[in-house]
Chain A
């Protein structure tokens, strides 16, 4: 049986894995999951892998020979190590790799968290606070890019070298930009410009322009239909 990657285009966590597959050219058969109408086959596969008959079935799921795994960072890392060893996506220098991992951690704990705060805000006052939180989050990531990243040769975290830093964050960046704009009118591009965050702005463009990002993005209409469940209704 060919190696399989079960994913849903709308899910940014699964998109980490599909980006890894595109970047490495790994030979996977895509199995598309409709998160709103999960097949019995998918649900039973997921539950078998996690050994939990009551688990909520999630993407991504990866099957490769005897290996059956889930959890996006585990799946993405496996694909990059197994099929992309020659590509430098996982930096060979341990300190450089560690900084790239830290970048991904900081992005999620700052920007993705602020996205959640924006979508969960139910009043104008809370939205204003959450928007400040997002501005602060973007500043943190910008500062980390400047202090721990590179600008040599390009605008990725490692300058001209695309790496796991982008594999783990590009899809989350896309959702942060798209959802906050669509459901709350918050414009992350405007925020980075207003606060003079030129380094993260350049990084954002580079990450989103990468072919693997473009090829794996969900259809916008489908995404916004899927994402409607995230924002909480505003009271005022």
Chain B
């Protein structure tokens, strides 16, 4: 009988959400060791230090324990789960399709997550305007990327059917949908529709509707509160 997997997680971090989703999608039995990142417990810190030998590195989530195997870094953990527990698959067997999924994950980081933080960091109205223009440009790139490299066979996910493409990105989309309206009055759905980004819109709907996405989403007020530290107050407000 394999030992239960242990997942150290704050249940609020979008990076840790990647491996949480992977565990759920694979139907694996696991235990959540809940971590308060503002008040880290000794077991969590010691476990992190036993894996990452850098004494200066702040202990981070996620951490996965699988018997003797102990891992940090969300993508390393997701890749490990995919290799160790291949069913149901989160990556296609075809190396080319798997590469497209990996590139999609990078692209969401560069075109959605990055610009989203840019909007929050801007410290005056003009800068917010410019950062929002960049965000819109990023959404257009994403829409075009899904059309070019993705598929609609079998559904509206990146590959048509569900994969790591969604497991590793939906959490960031959920964060954006909560924080952009609250802190900057930006309606992401509105931007997507105004710019007629139909493929992106259908992807967003499918990704957000996935049960594992819903199960792992923190409440909006929790997301909003957690993101406060990333938001620069506007000088000209």
Using A71-B103, A94-B83 as known contacts, say yes or no to A51 and B96 having CB atoms under 8 A apart.
no
Asked if B73 and A102 make an inter-chain contact with CB atoms under 8 angstroms apart, the answer reads yes
Chain A residues lying within 8 Å of B154, measured Cβ to Cβ, are none
For chain A, what secondary structure do more than half of its interface residues adopt (helix, strand, loop), or is it mixed?
helix
A residues with CB within 8 A of B: 50-52, 54, 64-67, 69-71, 73-75, 77-78, 81-82, 94-95, 97-99, 101-102, 105-106, 110, 136, 139-140, 143-144, 147-148
Query: How far does the Cβ of B52 sit from chain A's closest Cβ, in whole Å?
Result: 7
Closest 10 CB pairs of A and B: A94-B83, A143-B53, A51-B144, A94-B84, A98-B80, A82-B95, A78-B99, A67-B96, A81-B95, A95-B69
Question: Which of A69, A99, A136 sits near B103, CB closer than 8 Å?
Answer: A69
Distance in angstroms between the alpha carbons of A52 and B115 in the assembled complex = 14
Query: How far does the Cβ of B2 sit from chain A's closest Cβ, in whole Å?
Result: 13
Using A70-B103, A71-B106, A105-B73 as known contacts, say yes or no to A94 and B95 having CB atoms under 8 A apart.
no
Of residues 74 to 88 in B, which have CB atoms within 8 Å of A's CB atoms? 75-77, 79-80, 83-84
Distance in angstroms between the alpha carbons of A101 and B75 in the assembled complex = 9
Chain A residues lying within 8 Å of B79, measured Cβ to Cβ, are 97-98, 101
Distance in angstroms between the alpha carbons of A70 and B106 in the assembled complex = 10
Asked if B141 and A52 make an inter-chain contact with CB atoms under 8 angstroms apart, the answer reads yes
Query: How far does the Cβ of A207 sit from chain B's closest Cβ, in whole Å?
Result: 19
| Supplied contacts A52-B141, A73-B102, 15 more A-B pairs, CB within 8 Å | A50-B145, A51-B145, A51-B148, A52-B137, A65-B96, A69-B100, A78-B96, A78-B98, A94-B84, A95-B68, A97-B79, A98-B76, A101-B73, A101-B79, A140-B53
B residues with CB within 8 A of A: 51-54, 56, 66, 68-69, 71-73, 75-77, 79-80, 83-84, 95-96, 98-100, 102-103, 106-107, 111, 137, 141, 144-145, 148
Query: Number of A-B pairs whose CB atoms are under 8 Å?
Result: 84
A-B pairs with beta carbons under 8 Å apart, 11 shown: A64-B96, A70-B103, A74-B103, A78-B96, A78-B98, A95-B69, A97-B79, A98-B71, A101-B75, A110-B54, A143-B53
Most B CB contacts (10 A, CB to CB) among A50, A98, A148 go to: A98
Chain A residues lying within 8 Å of B148, measured Cβ to Cβ, are 51
Asked if B69 and A98 make an inter-chain contact with CB atoms under 8 angstroms apart, the answer reads yes
Chain A residues lying within 8 Å of B106, measured Cβ to Cβ, are 71, 74
Asked if B53 and A144 make an inter-chain contact with CB atoms under 8 angstroms apart, the answer reads yes
Chain B residues lying within 8 Å of A69, measured Cβ to Cβ, are 99-100, 103
Asked if A77 and B53 make an inter-chain contact with CB atoms under 8 angstroms apart, the answer reads no
Query: How far does the Cβ of B202 sit from chain A's closest Cβ, in whole Å?
Result: 17
Chain B residues lying within 8 Å of A70, measured Cβ to Cβ, are 103
Chain B residues lying within 8 Å of A51, measured Cβ to Cβ, are 141, 144-145, 148
Distance in angstroms between the alpha carbons of A74 and B109 in the assembled complex = 14
Using A67-B100, A70-B103, A102-B76 as known contacts, say yes or no to A140 and B71 having CB atoms under 8 A apart.
no
